[in-house]
Structure 1
Amino acid sequence: MPITWVVKLGGSLADSDTLPFWLDALADANLVIVPGGGPFADQVRSAQQRWSFGDEAAHAMALLAMGQYGLMLSGLCPKLGIASDVPALRTSTESGRSTIWLPGLSLMNDPGIPASWEVTSDSLAAWLAGRLNAANLLLVKSVAIFSDDTSYGGLVAQGLVDAAFERFSAKAAFAVWLGHRQDHPRVRAGLREPSHVFTRVNRSAG
């Protein structure tokens, strides 16, 4: 069964009352959820600032932070499956339920994923969407778009996605959409007709 949607739930939703509603709406949609880093990644940043260890260690810790947030999402919504690699994600979604991706340290060995804060869960969601041959990638944010420029470059400039996101997404086959955390009452409709609910991300000029 093809995977139509990969949905990245931003770590900022960890402090939002809308989080349980998002999980409930997504649970039976046969999609893959990518967790952000949330407060767990914030702790990694704080520790690196305090102790000045390298980005390679911080990158590994940030991957584990995404896993911690993913386990929290699973605890909040036990209907969701969990899996850590592409074959397991495919198997889990074939059951008809949605599955949370728990990225592992094996990603440290992927030469296409730099150990840098320029690569956050946004870019990793795009990387995964490509590996799954998904049709759509939805990034759920807590910050609204404050510009008419919805190109990859424009979103990077606004701080809505990480600096590496365009490289992971611009030539991909999947469509990229932005959603806001307050969109949760219309999630199911948006998964059917995304242009009615979500904002399409356009390729940068040139």
Structure 2
Amino acid sequence: MQGIEYISGYPRYKLADGYITANKSFVVQPVSSINNYYTSNPGEISASKVTHLYSDIDLTNIVKKVPAGTVYKVEKIQYSTSDYPRFKVAGGFISANKSIVAVYKESSNTEKANKVVALAKTKIGDPYTQSASGRLGPNSFDCSGFVYYVYKTALGIVLPGTTTTTEESAGKEVSLNTLKPGDLLFYGTRGNTYHVGIYEGNGIMVHAATPEEGVKETAIEYYEPSFARRILN
């Protein structure tokens, strides 16, 4: 962020490539201690000390005490109203703080990719929107908002920004001849891309296509990407 400027009397965040609203309904201050938390789904966790299972994502209503050593399978990572990551497990939520829980069994990248693709496919048929308040889901998207939502919701992975040009820096570049499910497919020149989707496998991409088509599957042999990035290294 380069600063705050006022436009028509309202504060706006000045970024390198434009402006975004400073409305607290749409943006929050990053959690300063985020390095103390797991931000991607590790698969299974074990309680390092006595903790609690909560019924709500803000960890205010205790369901039960969780003894040290208890193992849970993590369904996904979700973020609280204060933007802290939580583990969604059977029966509720557990803090993702590294001082409380430890990785018990790491999911393989194949398993993670399957979760990404599975979630993306559930969104097929959802509408395309360019609305700032609707483009990040959960029920409408633009192309970059779609991939941002899917990775954050399926695995708790937060991509570096919500535009195609910022998402270009995620992961590592891979050849279009070695694509794997979950890879991001970009269209346009680097630094000036105009579209992005998620590779499903078997030559198919899932993406928020156009306002007329919404979220759909497309055979990439008819819509060949410019380059690809792999998030799950």
TM bin (shorter chain): under 0.3
TM-score (norm 2): 0.23
**Which protein, 1 or 2, shows the higher relative CO under an 8 Å CA cutoff with sep ≥ 6?**
1
Higher helix proportion (structure 1 or 2): 1
Q: Which has the larger Rg? A: 2
